[in-house]
Every structure is written in C-alpha cells, then in structure tokens.
Structure 1
C-alpha cells in the first residue's frame, strides 16, 4: 500500500537550504522541513533523472516493498539505492512521474 510522502516541485532557482545531490545532479530541499511536504528541485545539466521528472516534478509515496510495487508498472528510473536506508524508483502513471520510495 502506498503512503503519501512528498511532492516534488521543479524550480529554476536554487532554494535556500537546498543541497546538491551529486549523483543525480540536482539541488534538493528537505521536504521534512516543509509544512506542506514540498521538495524543491533545481536540475543541473546532465542530470540522469528522466525528462518527465525534470520538467513536471513528481508525487512521492513510500511502500513496504519497492520490488513488489514496480511489478507491471512503467518504470522510468531505477530502482536506485540512495543510501543504506532508502531506495527510490520513478514510474509513469496518468502521464506524470511518481516516485516510489522504500525506507528501511
């Protein structure tokens, strides 16, 4: 079962407090610090994330098993481990990017 985690909004300016994720080549704000659970994203040239994510943003959900959640879905990125506690993937549903997150 999916649980809402955050929404990703693409911006053309680096927001205060944003940190560069060098692996993805994107500046990210901490959605845990946002009262509306917003993650602002400013992409640098050469980001490996799909164009759909870079142009339209995304909605993110946590799931108990990323492997199970991705079965039969249109996967557009990943799965990719971010650290020992987080694995992410992006799928396309209803024409938008959905981030799937497994947090251990």
Structure 2
C-alpha cells in the first residue's frame, strides 16, 4: 500500500472547489499540497454512508483492490469514479479507509 491522500469532510465551502456531479460531491485537489490533504463536501443527496460523510478517511493506492478488501467490512463497494481508477471503502476500527487501484497507463496524472 502507498499513501495517496486524506479526505476531510466539511459542510463549508473551500478554496479550489472541484464539483463532481456524477459522484454528488465537491472536492479539493489533494495533489496541490505535499501532504495529500483533500477537502470534501458531500451533497445533500450523496448516496454514501454517514461514516464516510462525517469522519476523515485515509486513502491508499493498492496493486489489487479485490485482494486488498478481502476479509474487511466493505462500506462502499468497488466502483470506478473516473477512467482508470477503481475504488472501495472499508471500515477499520470504526474509521473509513479508501483503497484505490490505479491504471497508471490510462492515468499518468495520478
């Protein structure tokens, strides 16, 4: 696993907002700072567990998403939020953890 970002939910607007209508969320660019901090504002109709919408999560890039989630409590099933990216959320000790599998040939920006 390789650390990718920390997602911090907020209800407030923030600088550098990037709306993602298909995900029902607004985010900041985690790559614009050396610590991978990403602000996230979930829209009222965002279809995610309250745990994800209210508690900060850490995100790690993994080589094999299905192997990485095996044996864990999956709270957001594997899905593709953008081309070349596969993600899932698991719950670990009461906290959300995001796991990402990235096809770097398709997504050299990540």
Q: TM range, normalised to the smaller chain? A: over 0.9
Q: What is the deviation of 1:82? A: 1.6
Q: Distance in 1 between matches of 2:46 and 2:23?
A: 5
Give the alignment of 1:1-104 within 5 angstroms.
Answer: 2-104=1-103
Count of matched residue pairs = 103
SS of the aligned residue for 1:82 comes to strand
d(CA) in 2 for partners of 1:9, 1:83: 20
TM-score norm. by structure 2 comes to 0.88
Does structure 2 conserve the Cα–Cα contact (< 8 Å) formed by 1:24 and 1:49? no
TM-score between the two structures when normalised by the length of structure 1: 0.93
Gaps of 5+ in 1: none
- Contact 2:65 2:100 (C-alpha < 8 Å) held by counterparts: yes
CA distance in 2, matches of 1:83, 1:30: 15
Deviations 1:36-61 (CA, angstroms, capped at 9, x unpaired) = 21010011101012211101121000
Gaps of 5+ in 2: 104-110
Matched-pair contact (CA < 8 Å) for 1:14–1:27: no
Q: Does the CA contact (< 8 Å) of 2:23 and 2:81 recur in 1?
A: no
RMSD over aligned CA atoms reads 1.0
